[in-house]
Structure 1
Amino acid sequence: MSPARLLSAPLPDLLADLEVQLVESGIADESFFGAVFRLEERLVLVAPSGCPTDEWDVLARGLLGQALGVSLPALPSSVAAVEVVS
């Protein structure tokens, strides 16, 4: 996946092409910006409830970029990405 494709494709198309499962979270914490994890061979993208569409678009692409190893510009400093390895 190229950075250009990750940043320019419509998000619904990108999720479909990558076969990413999108789940809306019930987490009400305003500091939760979403998550991405691998479940077997599939990526699962967790959207925070109530997040504005434009904001979620940027966050989703950043999360996917990290999960796929695509080099992207850094997310805003107010967003901390934490990698959890089991």
Structure 2
Amino acid sequence: MSVAPSLSPAQVLDAPLGDLLTTVGVEIVDSSITDAEFLGAVVQRKSGEIYLTMPTGRSELEHDTMARYLLAQVFDVDLPKLPAPFVTTKI
């Protein structure tokens, strides 16, 4: 398994999303989950490969914001928690 990249809050918040994904080696894939309360998930395979599974049909702002937040969570970047009612769960 490769070493996790070190990211700053500024990188997570300011870099173009495509560049950020390339930097961390993460791909976004469409999720089949249609529940309106599902905003995305981080999936890590046994090989160490990480990808984000994101719902389709959401606004660009929601997609971008949630992808960045999930990346911050998985790479342990110190960002403020999302306000209620948003909740992240580690399984």
Task: With the length of structure 1 as denominator, give the TM-score of the two structures.
Answer: 0.90
Distance between the aligned counterparts of 1:68 and 1:5, measured in 2? 12
Structure 2 CA distance for aligned equivalents of residues 12 and 43 of structure 1: 15
Question: Identity of counterpart residues, as a percentage?
Answer: 40
**Is 1:5 the counterpart of 2:1 in the alignment?**
no
Structure 2 counterpart of 1:38, which letter?
Answer: Q
What letter matches 1:14 in structure 2? Answer: L
Distance in structure 1 (CA, Å) of the matches to 2:75 and 2:43: 11
Unaligned 5+ residue runs, structure 2? 1-6
Find the residue that maps to 2:44 and give its secondary structure: strand
Distance in 1 separating the partners of 2:89 and 2:23: 25
Q: Deviation at 1:51?
A: 1.3
Aligned residue in 1 for 2:4: none
Query: Counterparts of 1:66 and 1:37 in 2: how far apart (Å)?
Result: 12
Shift of 1:70: 0.7
Local SS of the residue matching 1:24: strand
- Point out 4+ residue stretches in structure 1 off by more than 2 angstroms: none
Give the structure 1 partner of residue 36 of structure 2.
Answer: 30
1:80 and 2:87 equivalent?
A: yes
Structure 2 Cα separation of the partners of residues 42 and 19 of structure 1: 8
**2: CA distance, partners of 1:37 / 1:65:** 14
* Aligned partner of residue 32 in structure 2, secondary structure: coil
Give the Å deviation of 1:41: 2.1
Alignment of structure 1 residues 5-84 onto 2, 5 Å: 5-39=11-45, 40-84=47-91
- Alpha-carbon RMSD across the aligned residues, in angstroms, is 1.0
